[in-house]
């Protein structure tokens, strides 16, 4: 028993040292993240925003970032919607909704999170850590929304709005110029309806382990496959397939329209050409051209 006391004390000392080092590392990483965000947040609030449920469950049921995610989602949606409403006064509600969906979605949020290297700061459980959780689109998107929610609670709507504008205004501008690319599946359905081709359907297959699946989708219209796409999610694969199909059908429609326009111009050109007498002989210069009769009465032959 006496021999175990020093070992127990040593283990306790090592644990305390590890905890202190972890706290110092966390504080340093939080400072780095705050530098990228441009704001200093209350420490406990930032820790909560970075705590994924997998970490919380593995560490005695700590508070997760899910409530902050819920709040941040609303703040993000409000700021983006307000921006779109003010900058596009002539767009109808449906087009505004498409623009917002192009900005506020897991894929877009994940890309913004990757730009901040947000994955390096998330507190993840061992299971998620081992399956590439730091780069999963859903985890990055949820954590970014939680961070926005934390900024809102700590510093108010104006500051949170400034953060959203800095992170998302470039994406809003890019999305405004996408046209059909705002939502390829909707755009494909609209195009096939216009062309009288029917409703698109998607055949999806998947490969790979559960934590690293790859989805492949084929877009079919009227039983004909017009394009395929791949992605890390079913939705991403379908969108890529829809884009490929839209471009193929649009190109075919444009080609038909160009051919029809050329065919319509041909008769008009023939009608505009000067008419010629097919039976009249061709003339070559004035030498063979008969002289025009002189004016006045013919002279009397007897008087010559």
pLDDT digits (tens, 9 = 90+) for 30-52: 888 888 998 889 999 999 999 99
* Mean pLDDT, the chain, whole residue set: 82
Distance CA 152, CA 171 (A): 21
pLDDT tens readout for residues 213-235: 889 999 999 999 999 999 888 88
91 contacts 159 by C-beta, under 8 angstroms: no
Catalytic residue list contains 34 = no
Catalytic residue list contains 265 = no
Q: What is the pLDDT of residue 259?
A: 87
* Cα–Cα distances in angstroms (integers) from residue 92 to residues 76, 96, 190, in the given order: 21, 6, 16
pLDDT tens readout for residues 80-123: 999 999 999 998 998 899 889 889 988 899 999 999 999 999 99
Q: What is the pLDDT of residue 44?
A: 93
Residue environment code for 247-260, b if the CB has 16+ CB neighbours within 10 A, otherwise e: ebbeeeeeeeeeee
- How many CB atoms are closer than 10 A to CB 56? 18
Confidence of residue 6 (pLDDT cuts 50, 70, 90): low
Q: Which of 69, 128, 145, 243 is catalytic?
A: 145
pLDDT surpassing 90 at residue 260: no
- pTM beyond 0.95: the answer is no
Q: Residue 189 — left, alpha, or beta (φ > 0 → left; ψ -120 to 50 → alpha)?
A: alpha
Distance CA 89, CA 41 (A): 35
pLDDT surpassing 70 at residue 129: yes
Q: Which of 73, 142, 183, 238 is catalytic?
A: 73
Tell me which residue of 78, 77, 73, 79 sits closest to 145, measured CA to CA: 73
């Amino acid at each position: 028993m006496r021999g175990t006391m020093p070992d127990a004390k040593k283990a306790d000392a090592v644990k305390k040292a590890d905890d202190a080092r972890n706290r110092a590392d966390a504080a340093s990483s939080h400072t780095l993240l705050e530098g990228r965000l441009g704001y200093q947040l209350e420490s406990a609030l930032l820790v909560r925003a970075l705590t994924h449920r997998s970490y919380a469950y593995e560490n005695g049921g700590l508070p997760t970032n899910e409530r902050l995610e819920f709040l941040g989602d609303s703040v993000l949606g409000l700021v983006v919607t307000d921006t779109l409403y003010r900058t596009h006064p002539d767009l109808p509600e449906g087009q505004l909704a498409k623009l917002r969906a192009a900005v506020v979605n897991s894929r877009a949020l994940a890309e913004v999170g990757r730009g901040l290297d947000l994955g390096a700061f998330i507190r993840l459980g061992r299971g998620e850590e081992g399956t590439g959780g730091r780069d999963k689109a859903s985890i990055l998107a949820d954590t970014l929304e939680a961070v926005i929610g934390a900024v809102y609670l700590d510093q108010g709507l104006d500051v949170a709005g400034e953060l959203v504008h800095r992170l998302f205004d470039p994406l809003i501008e890019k999305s405004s110029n996408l046209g059909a690319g705002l939502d390829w599946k909707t755009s494909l359905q609209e195009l096939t309806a216009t062309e009288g081709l029917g409703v698109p359907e998607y055949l999806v297959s998947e490969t790979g382990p559960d934590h690293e699946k790859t989805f492949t989708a084929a877009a079919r219209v009227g039983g004909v496959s017009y394009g395929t796409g791949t992605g890390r999610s079913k939705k991403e694969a379908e969108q890529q397939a829809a884009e490929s199909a839209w471009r193929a059908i649009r190109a075919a429609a444009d080609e038909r329209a160009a051919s029809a326009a050329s065919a319509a111009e041909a008769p008009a050109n023939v009608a505009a050409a000067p008419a010629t007498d097919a039976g009249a002989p061709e003339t070559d210069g004035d030498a063979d051209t008969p002289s025009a009769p002189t004016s006045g009465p013919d002279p009397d032959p007897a008087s010559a």
